[in-house]
Chain A
Amino acid sequence: MQTDIYRVNVGPIHPSTHGGLHAEAVMDGEIIQDVIVHLGYVHRSVEKIAESRTYQQFVPYTARLDYLATNLPVLGYCQTVEKLLGIEVPERAEYIRVIMAELSRIASHQIAIAATGIDLGATTGLMYGMRDRERIMNIFEMTGGQRLLSSYIRIGGVAADIPDDFIPAVRSFVNDVPQMIDEYNGLMTGNEIWAARMQGVGILNPEDAVKYGVTGPNLRASGIAYDIRKAEPYGIYDRLDFDIPTGSRGDSLDRWTVRIEEVRQSGRIIGQALDNLPEGEIIARVPKTLKPDPGKDIYHRIESAKGELGYYIVSDGGNKPYRLHVRAPSFINLMVLPLVCRGGVFQDIITNIATLDPILGESDR
C-alpha cells in the first residue's frame, strides 16, 4: 500500500513537553521513523549574562537554570567559585547544603513522577507527586523565604541559619518518604497498563548511553552505577552512606523506578545529615569583591537531579567571569530522544520525554 510520511510537531506548545521543547516527529502511520529536536525556546543567554555580572551577582541566575531543583545548580556554581578561589566552607554550612540539595533532588524527582503520571494519563499521579513536593516547598520557604527559586546557598556557605522548626519539618518529611514511595508504587508502578506502556519502551543500552554522554538517573537506569557523589565526591558526600540504584534494561520503566529509588536514597542522606549536623558558622569570610587569579580556569561538576551538572569558569583576574559555560545535563540527555523513540509508536514519544525528564530552562540556558 502506498503510504506517506507525515510530520507531527510535538511542541513547542504542547501539554506534555515540559516547557518549550519542540520535537518534530517523522511518522509512518503510528510508527516513529525519526524525531528531530528543536531547542532554544527558553534560551535566555545565561552564559553571556554571566560575563557582565560579578561572581556574587550571578548566583540567582543559576537558580533559574533547573528551576525544579533550584538548590542544585546554585550549589554547583557556588562550589565552582569556591574551588576557584580556595574558599573553605564551614562544616555546618556543608551539612545544611547537603540537606537542601537532597531535598531539591527529591522535589525534582517528584515533579518527574508527577509529570510522568499526567503524561501517561494517570492524572491522580500528578496530584500525589505535587502534594508531597509542597512540603519541600514549605521547608524552602522557611530557610530562604522563597519557595521555588530560593538562592539560599551562597558563595562560602548559606545565606542564613536554619530556623528552629526546620529540623522537625525535615525530619517528619524524611520519615514519610517510604510511605510516599509506597503510594506512588501502589497507584502507578504496580498498574498493569502502566507497566505495559513503559516496559521495553525507549530502550537505551549502556554503550549508547555512555557514547551520548547521558548522565544521572538515565545513565543509571541503563545499568551503569555512575554517580558523581560517589565517583568524585564533593562537599561532604564521602562521609555519607547511600546506595546507587541502577536498572537493568534501560527502558522507561527502569528510568522511572530508578528515580523512585533515588528519592528513598536521598531521604537516607538527609537523615544522616540531620543526625550529624554540627554547630558553628554558616558562611565563610568571603571578600566583597572576588578576584580569582588571572588565567585560571576550572571545571567542576556535581550530580544534579538530571545528571552531571558542570560549570566551566575562566577568570581574567577581574570580579566577573571571563567566560562561563554550563554543562547542562538536560541538554545532553535530550540528545538520545530520537535514538530511543525510533521504531516506537507515537505515544512512546510522550513516555520517553517524560522518563528522560529534561528541564528546558537548563537545556536551553
Chain B
Amino acid sequence: MEALFVNLAAVLSGWLTSLGLSPIWADTVLLFVKWIIVITIITLNIIILIWLERKVSAFFQERLGPNRLGPFGIFQTIADAIKLLTKEDIVPSAADKLIFKTAPMFFIVVAVMLYTVIPMGQGMEVINLNIGLLFFISIGSLSTIALLMAGWGSNNKWSLMGAVRSVAQMVSYEIPLAFSLLGVVMISGSLNLQDIVAAQGKLWFIILQPIAFITYFIAATAELNRGPFDMPEAEQELTGGAYTEYTGMRWALFFLAEYTNLVAVSALMATVFLGGWQGPWLPSWLWIIIKTYGVILVFFWVKWTFPRIRMDHLMSFSWKVLVPVSLGNILLTGAGIYFCRWMGWC
C-alpha cells in the first residue's frame, strides 16, 4: 500500500517508454498526469470540505445542516455546484471588464499552484523543489493581487474597501508568516519540504517550535481570509467585500480558491510542524490526509467560534504582537541551536 502511487507512476512511465517515447517526453506526460490527478483531488476535496464545513458549523450551532441529498446530505455541494454553473453571469456595466473577469481565474490558478511542492507522501510530489518553502510563501502571497483585481475591477465601494483591507491585511501577515517558518528552516537546514519532513523523524517541529506554530496558525488564518480575520469578505459589514459583484461560476471560483488555499495551507502546516507524511501503520499518503484534515477542523472550529476582529486591531496585532514574537522566536531558535552544538547534542 505504501508505495501504491509511486509504483503506479513507475508502471505508467515504463509503459510510456515502451511505446517508444524518449525519457524526457515520458516525464513530461507523467507531469501532466500528476497535475490532472492533483486537480481532481483538489476538486473532490473541496466538494467534501464544503459539505464538512456546513456540517461542522451546524454541529457548533445546534442545527442539522444539509441533510436532504444523499446520506447526510453529502450530495448537497454537487447540487450547489450545478446551480452555480447554470446561473446567469452578471458583469456590472461600470466594471473594468478585463480585470473583473480575470480576477477569479488568477485567484484559482495561484491557489492550485501551491500544490506543486507539497509532499503528499513518501516520494509523492509534483516537483521536488529545493526551495519548496520559499516557493509556497511567494506564490501564496500572489493571491493578494487577485483580490485587489476583483475589488478594483468591480467598481464598487464595498468591493474596493474589501480589496484594500485584504491587501493591508495580507501584506502585514505575510511577515510573521514567513518569520515563523524561518525557525523550522534553521533547525532542518533546508527549504526543501521533503527534507523538512525527514528532519522530523524523531521529533515533530510543533514540539521544538511551539511559538512558531501558534504564530504561523494565526498568520495563516489571516492569509486565508478566514474568520476571525475574514475582513476582506465580511458579509455583515462589507456585504461580501471583494466578491460583492460576482455571481455564478465566477463567484464559485473564488469560493473554490479559498478552500483550495485552505487545504494547501493546512497541508503545509501538517508538513512543517506535524511530521508530514510520517506516521506508524498507515501508508504515508493517508497520514498526510489525516493530519491536513485535523488542521482544517481546527480552522473550522476557530471560524465558527470567534467574532470578527476590527481592522485597526487586526493591523496592530500583526505589527505589535506577531512580528516581535516571531522575531523573538528566531532569536531563541538560533540561541538554542548554538547551545545544542556547544553541548554536543547535535
The chain A residues found within 8 Å of chain B, CB to CB, are 6, 8, 14-16, 30, 117-128, 131, 187-188, 191, 193-194, 196-197, 345-348, 350
Contacts and interface: CB of A to CB of B under 8 A. Distances in A.
A15 B311 CA distance: 19
Interface in B236-260: 236-237, 239
Given A191-B307, A193-B307, A6 B61 contact: no
Contacts of B312: 30, 345
B309 A119 contact: no
A196 B228 CA distance: 13
Contacts of A194: 307
Given A117-B307, A121-B227, A193-B306, A127 B313 contact: no
B130 interface: no
B222 to A, nearest CB: 13
Of listed A119, A123, A126, A348, residue having the most chain B CB within 10 A: A123
B306 A191 contact: yes
A321 B161 CA distance: 50
A346 B161 contact: yes
A15 B157 contact: no
B304 interface: yes
12 contacts: A8-B157, A8-B158, A15-B239, A119-B236, A121-B234, A124-B305, A127-B62, A188-B307, A191-B306, A193-B308, A346-B161, A350-B236
Nearest to B165: A30
B157 A6 contact: yes
Contacts of A346: 161, 237, 311
Contacts of A30: 311-312
B243 to A, nearest CB: 14
A117 B228 CA distance: 13
B235 interface: yes
A128 B307 CA distance: 14
Nearest to B313: A196
A55 B234 CA distance: 46
Contact of A124 (B61, B157, B158, B235): B61
Contacts of B308: 120-122, 193, 197, 347
> Chain B binding site: helix, strand, loop or mixed by DSSP?
loop
A197 B158 CA distance: 21
A14 B157 CA distance: 13
Given A125-B307, A196-B310, A197-B307, 15 more contacts: A16-B237, A122-B307, A123-B57, A124-B57, A124-B60, A127-B61, A131-B62, A187-B305, A191-B307, A193-B309, A345-B310, A345-B312, A347-B310, A347-B311, A348-B310
A70 to B, nearest CB: 25
B230 interface: yes
A118 B236 contact: yes
B97 interface: no
B63 interface: yes
Across the A-B interface, give the 9 residue pairs with the lowest CB-CB distance, nearest first: A121-B308, A127-B61, A122-B307, A120-B307, A121-B307, A16-B236, A193-B309, A124-B61, A194-B307
Contacts of B235: 15
A36 to B, nearest CB: 16
A327 to B, nearest CB: 31
A121 B230 contact: yes
Contacts of B57: 123-124
A346 B231 CA distance: 12
A123 B56 CA distance: 13
A119 B239 CA distance: 11
Contacts of B161: 8, 346
Contacts of B239: 14-15
A30 B310 CA distance: 11
Nearest to A6: B157
Of listed A16, A121, A122, residue having the most chain B CB within 10 A: A121
A123 B304 contact: yes
B309 to A, nearest CB: 5
Of listed B62, B239, B306, B313, residue having the most chain A CB within 10 A: B306
Interface string B46-62: 00000000000100111
A188 B307 CA distance: 8
A336 B60 CA distance: 36
Contacts of B309: 193, 196-197
Nearest to A122: B307
Contacts of A121: 227-228, 230, 234, 236, 306-308
